[in-house]
Amino acid sequence: MPCQEGQGGSGEADARAYSDADSMPRQLLVSLLLLLTAACGKSAVAPVGLKFEHHTLDLGRLISGEEVEVEFPFSTLSAVRVDRLSGSCGCLSPRIELSDGGGPCLGVPLESGANGAIVAGFATAGLLGQREVTLDVLGEGPGLPARLAIRAELEPWFDVSPSPLRFGSVSGEKEEIRIVRVVGPKPFRITEILTGGPPLRIEGVPSPTSQKEQEIRIILPPSREEGRHRRALRFLADNGYSFILQSEFSVEGELWTRPGKRLLLGGIPSSVPTHASVEVGVRIGELPIPQVRLEGIPGATTDCVTLRADNRYRVQLTLPSNLPKGPLTGTLKLELHPRGGSIGRIVYREIQIIGVVQ
């Protein structure tokens, strides 16, 4: 029995020895895994080539219409190349400036140790409330691409009424006039139209005197350009602030043609015939088949197809092959006899045909 106990004790000791010996490779494996994990963690950190002092600028409260300039200073820790600066809206006009006054930088490698800034003009006209705009810095090298952000809370200085300006649906036969009133907390003058919106005309700019309320007239002349149209008008005042007036109108004439004035053909192959079309119709009453004549393009032919009896037609044009290369112009002349509506007369329409034979 004592011998058996001894053997039993020796067996337990051997078992512990085997267990310790077996655990050593496992401990070594765990240590190796930890080392590999740490190494991988270090290599996962992206190298920095183009380093910005900050990626976000909060400008706080601004008056809508201000134009401010912001800077994002940077340094290069290794060579990079910035190819493009892309803003999230047209309100940003970015550029690169180097501290040493170097020349154009887009597409040109910047060596390690260069210092400079991404400078962006921020035009706030038309922006209201809490806004964030972004600027993407695109190129090659460590740290690229990068995204920069500008935040601001925009408060209005001008009260523009009505805004947006809606003409609604117009016939296009007569001139339409709308009055817009612009009010500010202090006297001001509207000095300049920065962006117009043809065919709209504007009267009352520049303002004759400085006062808290100004009046401008927006005029929509007779138009044959069927469909819905939008225009953005931008004005500048003598206080340096600007404002944007959005305008909308739809032309739905009793007698219409599509297109209204010009048929743009773009590039025309000289080796094959070219086909195009113009549609004409009335919304009220009847329209007999139009009388059509095409001038200025030798060999061109026309054919009038009825789309809806007595009120809608398609004039199909066929331009021959082997036309001389270069600019091409012609005139499609329509003689129209509407009946049953308010026009009550013969109407003559001319549509210019414009293209380039290639």
Look at residue 342 in the predicted model and tell me its pLDDT.
84
Instruction: Report the SS3 class of residue 269.
Output: coil
Look at residue 47 in the predicted model and tell me its pLDDT.
60
Cβ proximity of 72 and 117 under 8 Å: yes
Does 186 share its domain with 141?
no
Q: Considering 156, 185, 206, which residue would you say is the last residue of a domain?
A: 156
Does 274 share its domain with 316?
yes
**How many Å apart are CA 201 and CA 189, to the nearest integer?**
19
**Among all chains, which residue has been given the structure tokens 């199909």?**
316
Side-chain half-sphere CA neighbours of 101 within 13 A: 0
Does 147 share its domain with 241?
no
Cβ proximity of 255 and 343 under 8 Å: yes
Domain total for the chain?
A: 3
Report which of 50, 45, 46, 87 is spatially closest to residue 70, judged by C-alpha positions: 87
The backbone torsions φ and ψ at residue 40, rounded to the nearest 5 degrees and listed phi first, read -65, -40
- Angle formed at CA 68 by CA 64 and CA 71, multiple of 5 degrees: 140
Domain membership flag for residue 140: yes
Domain membership flag for residue 111: yes
Does 115 share its domain with 185?
no
Does 308 share its domain with 330?
yes
Cβ proximity of 314 and 287 under 8 Å: no
Q: Is 186 exposed, middle or buried (0-12, 13-18, 19+ CB in 10 A)?
A: exposed
Quote the tokens at residue 152: 């601001």
**How many Å apart are CA 232 and CA 228, to the nearest integer?**
14
Separation in Å, CA 43 to CA 36, 63, 139, 278: 10, 47, 22, 65
**How many Å apart are CA 204 and CA 192, to the nearest integer?**
10
Q: Is 226 exposed, middle or buried (0-12, 13-18, 19+ CB in 10 A)?
A: middle
Does 129 share its domain with 222?
no
Domain encompassing residue 166: 159-251
Domain membership flag for residue 320: yes
Domain membership flag for residue 144: yes
Q: Considering 251, 283, 300, which residue would you say is the last residue of a domain?
A: 251
Separation in Å, CA 57 to CA 9, 50, 72, 132, 138: 75, 18, 8, 10, 19
Domain membership flag for residue 43: no
Quote the tokens at residue 248: 């909308």
Domain membership flag for residue 4: no
Amino acid symbol at 29: L
Tens digit of each residue's pLDDT, the chain (358 residues): 333 333 444 444 444 444 444 444 444 443 443 344 444 444 444 467 999 999 999 999 999 999 999 999 999 999 999 999 999 999 999 999 999 887 778 999 999 999 999 999 999 998 999 999 999 999 999 999 999 999 999 999 999 999 999 999 998 889 999 999 999 999 999 999 999 888 999 999 999 999 999 999 999 999 888 889 999 999 999 999 999 999 999 998 899 999 988 999 999 999 999 999 999 999 999 999 999 999 999 999 999 999 999 899 999 999 999 999 999 999 999 999 999 888 888 999 999 999 999 9
Report the chain's C-alpha Rg in angstroms.
Answer: 36
The β-bridge relationship of strands 274-282 and 255-258 is antiparallel
In sequence order, the 6+-apart residues with CB closer than 8 A to the CB of 96 are 82, 85, 105, 106, 116, 117, 118, 119
In sequence order, the 6+-apart residues with CB closer than 8 A to the CB of 299 are 319, 320, 323
Does 170 share its domain with 147?
no
**Among all chains, which residue has been given the structure tokens 């013969």?**
346
Instruction: Report the SS3 class of residue 338.
Output: coil
Does 66 share its domain with 118?
yes
Please tell me the pTM assigned to this model.
0.64
Q: Considering 225, 251, 277, which residue would you say is the last residue of a domain?
A: 251
Report which of 220, 223, 173 is spatially closest to residue 345, judged by C-alpha positions: 173
CA 269 and chain centroid, separation: 32
Quote the tokens at residue 141: 């090298």
Look at residue 341 in the predicted model and tell me its pLDDT.
83
Q: What is the CATH number of the domain that holds 234?
A: 2.60.40.10
